[in-house]
Copies of this chain bind each other. A is one copy, B any other.
Amino acid sequence: MSNPTAAILIIGDEILSGRTREGNAYYLAGELTKAGIDLKEVRIVADDQDQIVSAIHALSGAYDTLFTSGGIGPTHDDITADAVGAAFGAKVDVREDAKALLAAHYAARGAEFTPARMRMARIPEGATLIDNPVSVAPGFTIGNVHVMAGVPNVFQAMVASVLPTLTGGAPVLSRSLRVPRPESEIAEPLRDLAQTYEDLSFGSYPFVSDGNYGVNLVVRGQDEARLEAAFAALKTAFPEGE
């Protein structure tokens, strides 16, 4: 039996202008190879609805799975959700569960839930959400298309949520802890935890917020009891986390 096939669609003017060097396709190419999925094609297109729709039709039709990266943020040029909706003939509107996730996230940080941020809760009808343990705003899956963020940290976290579901396993659950310490300081205790719970996966996604370094620690697994035990150990190891 031959391997399942995949394609990647990268969306963003900043890549085509040469301002940003694309790295998500390279990252995902490596992950797909490890998972036994054959990456057959990569396309990079502009923030242009016709181009995105036509690439989605071509790639989701030709291959088993299509991953997209970019264009799901809060600004006016983030048009991926609308383009994917158009490609599937699905209505795109603010979805209550996505809105609730974002509302809680901004409320916890004392930040305003602006109309621009509300755009990130616009999801095509019939899609399922992709967990974003880094910055909450979800990706989504519709048909054989997985729509993910362009920010590399977030993209990688979404890949970790989606990939195991493609290779026939049970859904992957996650718990995350935001720790206000630089990644270099948490590396050793995190490695020790990963060795203790070697049936789970531990990810660390650094961020800078108001000039301070921090890291989102994410533990993932398919057994809920084990996951909760590991998350409790994580909170003990990093009591300043929230």
Which residues does chain B contribute within 8 Å of A17, judged by CB atoms?
Answer: 29, 33, 39
Select one of B39, B40, B43 contacting A41, CB under 8 A: B43
Contact present for A16 and B39 (CB under 8 Å): yes
Chain A: residues with CB nearer than 8 A to chain B? 15-18, 21-23, 25-33, 38-46, 51
Contact present for A43 and B40 (CB under 8 Å): no
Select one of B22, B31, B32, B40 contacting A26, CB under 8 A: B22
Contact present for A29 and B15 (CB under 8 Å): yes
Question: Which residue in chain B gives the minimum CB-CB distance to A22?
Answer: B26
Interface pairs (19), CB distance under 8 Å: A15-B29, A15-B42, A16-B38, A17-B33, A18-B27, A18-B30, A18-B31, A18-B32, A18-B39, A21-B23, A22-B26, A40-B45, A40-B46, A40-B51, A41-B51, A42-B42, A42-B43, A42-B44, A43-B44
Which residues does chain B contribute within 8 Å of A41, judged by CB atoms?
Answer: 16, 43-46, 51
Which residues does chain B contribute within 8 Å of A28, judged by CB atoms?
Answer: 18
Which residues does chain B contribute within 8 Å of A25, judged by CB atoms?
Answer: 22, 44
Interface centre among A15, A17, A29, A38 (most CB of B within 10 A): A29
Take A42-B43, A44-B41 as given contacts and tell me if A18 and B29 are in contact as well, using a CB distance cutoff of 8 Å: yes
Select one of B16, B21, B23 contacting A40, CB under 8 A: B16
CB distance from A71 to the nearest CB of B (A): 15
Which residues does chain B contribute within 8 Å of A23, judged by CB atoms?
Answer: 21
Which residues does chain B contribute within 8 Å of A39, judged by CB atoms?
Answer: 16-18
Interface centre among A30, A43, A44 (most CB of B within 10 A): A44
CB distance from A75 to the nearest CB of B (A): 21
Contact present for B42 and A16 (CB under 8 Å): yes
Which residues does chain B contribute within 8 Å of A33, judged by CB atoms?
Answer: 17-18
Question: Which residue in chain B gives the minimum CB-CB distance to A46?
Answer: B40
Question: Which residue in chain B gives the minimum CB-CB distance to A32?
Answer: B18
Question: Which residue in chain B gives the minimum CB-CB distance to A28?
Answer: B18
Question: Which residue in chain B gives the minimum CB-CB distance to A16?
Answer: B39
**A102 CA / B20 CA spacing, docked (Å):** 37
Take A40-B46, A51-B41 as given contacts and tell me if A26 and B21 are in contact as well, using a CB distance cutoff of 8 Å: yes
